[in-house]
Amino acid sequence: MSTPTNSAQFSSSNVDPAELAKFSELAHRWWDTESEFKPLHQINPLRLAWIQTLAPLAGKKVVDIGCGGGILSDAMARQGAEVLGADLAVKSLKVAQLHALEAGTQGVQYREISAEDLAQEQAGQYDVVTCMEMLEHVPDPSSVVKACSALVKPGGWVFFSTLNRNPKSFLFAVVGAEYILNLLPKGTHEYARMIKPSELADWVRANGLNVMHMKGMTYNPFTRHYALGTDTDVNYLMATQKPLNN
Ligand code: SAH
């Protein structure tokens, strides 16, 4: 991995420093499965399995945009992919790298770089791009979608997941998760930044990707289990593909 620096200067302006600070503050708890990151640990096997069914990961070159502490990056590397995890929160990257060392995960590297800058450097080099639970934390998510599209090879897959924006998602993802069930720290998600599937689909198509599949992710507070299904009202995943002859 390239050594993360403490630079607060980003050549990309598509960053909200307050968002990065929120994640940096919690960074030491990324791999504590009972911490604020418990929901990500719980949904990880579900999203990994879905990615695998559409784009089997063994031997693939993958970039994970907004990788955080590497929960998904690490799991994809363990499926035999060669993974680059990219984020702008340096502390999270250090935790991710340390975890890979401790867990002996092969084939994963981490870098402090924006999606936009990486796209300039490595356009068309990835079989699979993942960008999970990240778009709702950036000022201009369409610019990240554009960068993800630039990073993927023709025929390759780009997977997004984010939070829908409607009264139900406000109630479940903000009021329920942050204020009633305490699944997430208060202030984790800002309503105005949440993204409707139609908006994400528009950005996807405008950047030369096709929407192939969608899944909703639901949480049952009684069983405390997450499931993938057809209800995209709150949390959803979108699988997109770059056409071969683009
Ligand atoms: N994708 C991971 C982590 C999601 S948390 C997972 O699903 O397990 C959101 C992540 O987005 C945090 O790690 C945060 O540091 C990162 N992030 C926020 N703004 C970013 C930006 N502009 N560029 C890159 N990463 C960003």
pTM check: above 0.85 = yes
Instruction: Confirm or reject: Cβ of 148 under 6 Å from ligand 1.
Output: no
**In the sheet that 108-112 helps form, which strands lie side by side, from edge to edge?**
108-112, 82-87, 61-65, 126-132, 152-163, 235-241, 210-220, 225-229
pLDDT beyond 90 at 172: no
Q: Give the mean model confidence (pLDDT) for residues 168-184.
A: 84
Residue 60 lies in a domain: yes
Determine the structural domain holding residue 55 and report its residue range.
7-164+195-241
Residue 12: the pLDDT is: 64
Residue 187 lies in a domain: no
Residue 85 lies in a domain: yes
Instruction: Confirm or reject: Cβ of 63 under 6 Å from ligand 1.
Output: no
Query: What value does the mean pLDDT of the chain take?
Result: 93
* Distance between Cα 200 and ligand 1 center (Å): 17
pLDDT above 70 as % of the chain: 95
Weakest-pLDDT range from 6-15, 126-135, 151-160: 6-15
Residue 63: the pLDDT is: 99
Q: How many structural domains does the chain have?
A: 1
Residue 246: the pLDDT is: 53
Closest-lying ligand 1 atom to the alpha carbon of residue 37: 8
Which of 23, 50, 12 has its CA nearest to residue 185?
23
Probe target for ligand 1 pocket from 134, 144, 161, 195, with the most ligand atoms within 8 Å of CB: 134
Q: Give the mean model confidence (pLDDT) for residues 201-226.
A: 95
Q: Which residues face 108 on adjacent strands?
A: 83
Residue 186 lies in a domain: no
pLDDT beyond 80 at 245: no
Residue 175: the pLDDT is: 82
Instruction: Confirm or reject: Cβ of 23 under 6 Å from ligand 1.
Output: yes
pLDDT beyond 60 at 111: yes
Residue 117 lies in a domain: yes
* Distance between Cα 19 and ligand 1 center (Å): 9
DSSP secondary structure, 132-183, as one string: ES-GGGSS-HHHHHHHHHHHEEEEEEEEEEEE--SHHHIIIIIIIIIIIS-S
8: confidence class by pLDDT, cuts 50, 70, 90: very low
Nearest residue (CA) to ligand 1, atom 22:
15
Instruction: Confirm or reject: Cβ of 91 under 6 Å from ligand 1.
Output: no
Residue 136 lies in a domain: yes
Residue 185 lies in a domain: no
Residue pLDDT, tens place only, 54-80: 999 999 999 999 999 999 999 999 999
Residue 81 lies in a domain: yes
Instruction: Confirm or reject: Cβ of 66 under 6 Å from ligand 1.
Output: yes
Q: Give the mean model confidence (pLDDT) for residues 191-217.
A: 97
CATH of residue 212's domain is: 3.40.50.150
